[in-house]
Structure 1
Amino acid sequence: MERKRARIIYNPSSGKEILRNHLPDMLDILENGGFETSCHATKGSEDTMEAARQASFHQFDLVVAAGGDGTINEVINGLSRCEYRPPLGIIPAGTTNDLGRALRLPRHPIEACKVIIEQNYVPLDVGKVTAISEEMANSESYFINIAACGRLTEISYEVPSKLKTILGQLAYYMKGFEKLPQIRPIHLDLDSPEYSFSGKVMLCLIANSSSVAGFHRIAPDAKIDDGVFDVLLVKTMSIPELIRLATLALRGEHIASDRIDYFHTNHLVVKSDEQVDLNLDGEYGGALPRQFQVLKHHLQVAVKNNIQAISGNESDSDEMVEYMIEESLR
């Protein structure tokens, strides 16, 4: 019987080079799990997307994305454009690992590979983003966790890579506290079949999963396969109010705030009369205006047969961040 073929697309610099160090063991597990496996070390975003497209073109039976949220986003951008889209395995090895958190995947590459060879696939929605200005016609991109705009979203590509390596997720929160005095509201015009809005906001989040920027309860109702986005608008408020709201978000209690508008939709258009940049899965995604739509069950992704609740390390990190927030209010 012909063996299945797998292609690992990995970022060799992710997670203090943990992927490079464990690559022989990863290949061994996949081979013993029934996959004839080859690998590709990424050299940049376009290279990563092209590697995913080539894996689709050559009809691989499985594509394994190994790296941080940026690497996974690039693989998904490559696969989502193809007619044939092989199942996706995830080896989370970045700073935040939002999709890995949402799927309750192990952080260690060996344990993540063991999940992949179970071949237990579930459907995964993908967000499609289309430019609607004439000069950018036919421009499209994809995201799996979050599309966001607002000055706070610039943090993810302003944190130095060395700081992320040393401090991990806390590096983002530290950068966030540093930028708080500079935060100003932006003007947005938002239109969807379910809800319309025009005015000033601190932040707009269009979520496809419950874990966003390490806050694993930011969109508490979000599911990866429900065919809708969870959209959060954070209305204008003072900096102390914003800090208190962040504390509530760690516990998933922010949705009840009268400063939050929260709704579900599978299609929306977001515009602004000022320059507003878009963040897609932690990476720069161009500027508004943009149209967003859900591609329901566009991919299949490998998960554990019995998905367990989020464990250990996340709550430890949350406690540290909550302490930092409380200290900032003193």
Structure 2
Amino acid sequence: MNEQIKYYFIVNKWAGAHHSAQTWERLHQLLVQNAVNFERVVTKYPQHATQLAQEFADLHPQGWVIVAIGGDGTLLEVLNGVRRSKNTVPIGYVPAGSGNDFARAVGIASDPSTALQQLIQTTTPITLDIGAYQNQANQLTQYFTNNIGIGFDARVVYEANQGQKVRLSKWHLESMAYVSALLKTLMRQKGFPLTIDIDGERHEFANAFVVSLTNIKYFGGGVGIAPRANLHDGKLDVVITEKLSFFKFVKLFIKLLRGGKHLDMPDVFFKTGREIHVQAFENEHGQVNGEDLPLQAFDLKIWMTKQPFWFNHKAAASQE
């Protein structure tokens, strides 16, 4: 353990269908037992973690790690707060959400107590790719660790977030919310026109259905949408399918669950790129890091940048 490093924990008590507050109680005991120098704050409302991270990073340029405790959405908020700061501060992450795809992608343990041990045993930061995007309607630049989705996967996220996860959490069946949402969306989601420029090369789709622009291998709680994704190559993986028949979609989904064989299917478009401009011309659901984006027509410019993180280097290397 690096005794000179101090940790600022931002706890989202609503993450993981409200289980993360209980997670913090266990982690607090471990921190005290290991004589870790830390501070803790609990978020009070949506986007509060962004504000807290920015304010703390502005005042503490060195010697601190800002740690998100929650799900991929909490990590998203902390990342955006840190990126808005005048200082560069490494980000740590202890997964306590429903999906935890970033942790899965970089080798952070799914058990929060083990993940905390990994965190405090780290001695130096590791620099990884992150995505940046700008909505051309407002020119606001925002950042993400995982992926941006338009269409099918985004609507699954929307349907699952409509209270189902919380209702099922008392039986620890949050994943069933995604199964229910997937089946509902498969029947209701329609194709839509989409144009995407990848490093200056234009591709047009008349009937887009699944549109995933991803920095990591997973989305939706462990579904391997982009098995070739690499957090060090400076590129996003782009996976698109048009509207398929029910039987073709089932075939695709089975291949997707079998280690990425879906990328070899003729119905799947796959490319990588450093700079992407995507336009969806009809109102569609969107998601970033598993968080809903407002129903809208999309006009996004996306590019890659870097961010220092605080976790075990060997774990990250094993996921490349």
Shared fold (TM-score, shorter chain, > 0.5): yes
The Cα shift of 1:3 comes to 4.1
Match of 1:128, as an amino acid?
A: A
Whether contact under 8 Å (2:90, 2:307) holds in the other structure is no
1:186 aligned to 182, 186, 192, which one? 192
Match of 2:127, as an amino acid?
A: P
Partner of 2:214: 207
Whether contact under 8 Å (1:103, 1:303) holds in the other structure is no
Summarize deviations over 1:164-207 as a string: whole Å, max 9, x none: 52312232122111221112111101112264211221111001
2:312 aligned to 277, 296, 303, which one? 303
1:292 aligned to 298, 302, 320, which one? 302
Distance 2:212 2:315 in 1: 30
Distance 1:308 1:193 in 2: 27
Secondary structure, aligned partner of 2:39: strand
Distance 1:193 1:14 in 2: 36
Aligned residue pairs, count? 306
Identity between Structure 1 and Structure 2 (%): 22
Secondary structure, aligned partner of 1:85: coil
Distance 2:19 2:78 in 1: 19
1:271 aligned to 279, 291, 297, which one? 279
Alignment of 1:75-94 (within 5 A): 75-94=78-97
2:132 aligned to 120, 128, 132, which one? 128
The verdict on how the C-alpha distance between 1:20 and 1:277 changes in structure 2, with shifts beyond 3 A counting, is: closer
Match of 1:250, as an amino acid?
A: L
Whether contact under 8 Å (1:146, 1:206) holds in the other structure is yes
Whether contact under 8 Å (2:49, 2:77) holds in the other structure is yes
The verdict on how the C-alpha distance between 1:2 and 1:280 changes in structure 2, with shifts beyond 3 A counting, is: closer
Secondary structure, aligned partner of 1:173: helix
The Cα shift of 1:24 comes to 4.6
Secondary structure, aligned partner of 1:94: coil
Partner of 1:321: none
Distance 1:204 1:2 in 2: 44
The Cα shift of 1:309 comes to 6.9
Alignment of 1:130-209 (within 5 A): 130-133=134-137, 136=138, 138-159=139-160, 160-163=164-167, 165=169, 166-193=172-199, 195-199=201-205, 200-209=207-216
Partner of 1:324: none
Partner of 1:249: 256
Per the normalisation by structure 2, the TM-score is 0.87
The verdict on how the C-alpha distance between 1:300 and 1:308 changes in structure 2, with shifts beyond 3 A counting, is: closer
Whether contact under 8 Å (2:149, 2:213) holds in the other structure is yes
Whether contact under 8 Å (2:279, 2:299) holds in the other structure is yes
The verdict on how the C-alpha distance between 1:102 and 1:306 changes in structure 2, with shifts beyond 3 A counting, is: closer
Summarize deviations over 1:47-73 as a string: whole Å, max 9, x none: 110011122112161011011111111
Do residues 117 (structure 1) and 120 (structure 2) align?
yes
Whether contact under 8 Å (1:4, 1:34) holds in the other structure is no
Partner of 2:24: 23
Match of 2:274, as an amino acid?
A: N
Distance 2:38 2:309 in 1: 19
The verdict on how the C-alpha distance between 1:266 and 1:175 changes in structure 2, with shifts beyond 3 A counting, is: same
Per the normalisation by structure 1, the TM-score is 0.85
The answer to which of 38-47 and 117-126 deviates more is 117-126
Do residues 67 (structure 1) and 77 (structure 2) align?
no
Gaps of 5+ in 1: 311-330
Distance 1:195 1:187 in 2: 17
Do residues 260 (structure 1) and 268 (structure 2) align?
yes
Secondary structure, aligned partner of 1:226: coil
Secondary structure, aligned partner of 1:289: strand
Whether contact under 8 Å (1:12, 1:42) holds in the other structure is yes
Distance 1:201 1:232 in 2: 11
Distance 1:285 1:34 in 2: 41
